[in-house]
Amino acid sequence: MIEFDNVYKSFGKFHVLKGLDLTLESGKINFVIGRSGSGKSVLLKHILGFIKPDSGNICIDGQDTAGYKEQDWQVLRRRFGMLFQDAALFDFMTVRQNVAFPLIENTRKHSDEINEIVSRKLELVGLKNHDSKLPSELSGGMRKRVAFARAIATDPDFVLFDEPTTGLDPIVCSVIDNLMADAQRELNSTFVVISHDMKATFKIAHKIFMLYNGEIVAQGTPDEIQQTGDPLVRQFIEGHLTGPFEIFY
Ligand SMILES: Nc1ncnc2c1ncn2[C@@H]1O[C@H](COP(=O)(O)OP(=O)(O)OP(=O)(O)O)[C@@H](O)[C@H]1O
């Protein structure tokens, strides 16, 4: 379980998180939605300790991270997999080396075992025959699948996805959505997904949280969110130009 308790974060005079209370449930696919610039990536970076709150607490599995030193964060981060918006593969490493990286860094497994795990993960994402290629030789969708295989390589307790399907065609989006749903079922890990893709959100989320004005303004199952009468949520999920949101052109 990942808990935010009354978390505030500002950059200069710009207040991004304003007393954020949020409980991301264990063994579930938690989606965080909200407008561009609402602070979704900032929220993810707090979970990994890359950004520290100005006040408030963040607890991971009941452990308050307030007093964590860099070494404690490094230990905690080993329990996480991460898929960044731009895939963020190591350009100079092959597909196989990219997926092996967290296994080499974060575990004491023997190279034979690592090779076997990497082969299994690459098979899962349909890229077993591309393992000796460099990221530059792959399409955007393939790079995302490599990043996905790398994110789940160690069977982490938590996997964070920052816009995993942005820029991909609808069919590749569905492939990634299915991979997320299948992997979560298999690992029973806690997934946290930031996404603007409402179709995927309603298809695979167990729980949806909407961030607005530095706070969570709505939360619920896909059915609950789809049926809400809250005008703010309705405008966002339906993409209307008129409603409580201020629209800037
Ligand atoms: N390190 C930083 N220093 C200053 N401002 C920052 C920093 N990180 C984020 N911000 C600001 O915080 C706000 C929220 O940014 P964030 O990237 O979390 O938005 P987001 O909801 O993920 O947006 P998008 O959906 O477009 O990716 C933005 O206005 C951004 O400029």
pLDDT tens digits for 85-96?
766 889 999 999
37 lines ligand 1 (CB under 6 A): yes
Read out DSSP for 76-134?
HHTTEEEE-TT----TTS-HHHHHHHHHHHH----HHHHHHHHHHHHHHTT-GGGTT--
Mean pLDDT to the nearest integer, 126-148? 90
> Cα of 16 to ligand 1 centre, how many Å?
8
Q: Flag whether pLDDT at 243 surpasses 80.
A: no
Spatial separation of the C-alpha atoms in residues 67 and 53, rounded to whole Å: 12
* pLDDT tens digits along 19-46: 999 999 999 999 999 988 889 999 999 9
Nearest of 125, 81, 123, 76 to residue 101 by alpha carbon: 81
Q: How many CB atoms lie under 10 A from the CB of residue 182?
A: 12
Q: Give the pLDDT score at 209.
A: 97
Mean pLDDT of the 126-135 span: 91
CATH class for the region spanning 1-38+54-79+158-166+189-249: alpha beta
Our answer on whether the CB atom of 16 is closer than 6 Å to any ligand 1 atom is yes
Sign of CA dihedral 40, 177, 117, 119: negative
Structure tokens at 223: 């059915």
On the question of pLDDT at 249 being above 70, the answer is no
Q: Strand 207-212 and strand 29-33: pairing?
A: parallel
Radius of gyration (Cα) for the chain, nearest Å? Answer: 18
Q: From ligand 1's centre to the CA of 121, what distance in Å?
A: 32
Residues 182 and 228: their CA atoms lie apart, in Å, by: 28
The first and second tokens of residue 136, run together, are 């530059």
Encoded tokens for 75: 């230990």
Averaged pLDDT, 211-217: 93
For a pocket test of ligand 1, which of 42, 162, 166, 215 has the largest count of ligand atoms closer than 8 A to its C-beta?
Answer: 42
**186 C-alpha vs ligand 1 centroid, how far in Å?**
32
Between 124 and 205, name the one with better pLDDT.
205
Q: Residues 170-198: pLDDT tens digits?
A: 888 888 899 899 999 989 999 999 998 88
Residue 126 above 80 pLDDT? yes
Query: 248 pLDDT band (50/70/90 cuts)?
Result: low
Ligand 1 pocket, 214 CB below 6 A? no
Q: Do 22 and 209 meet the contact criterion of CB atoms below 8 Å apart?
A: yes
Residue 190's pLDDT is what?
A: 96
Dihedral angle sign, alpha carbons of residues 141, 143, 149, 151: negative
* Distance of CA 22 from the midpoint of ligand 1 (Å): 18
- The domain ranges of the chain are 1-38+54-79+158-166+189-249
Taking each helix axis from N to C end, the angle separating 140-151 and 170-187, rounded to the nearest 10 degrees, works out to: 10
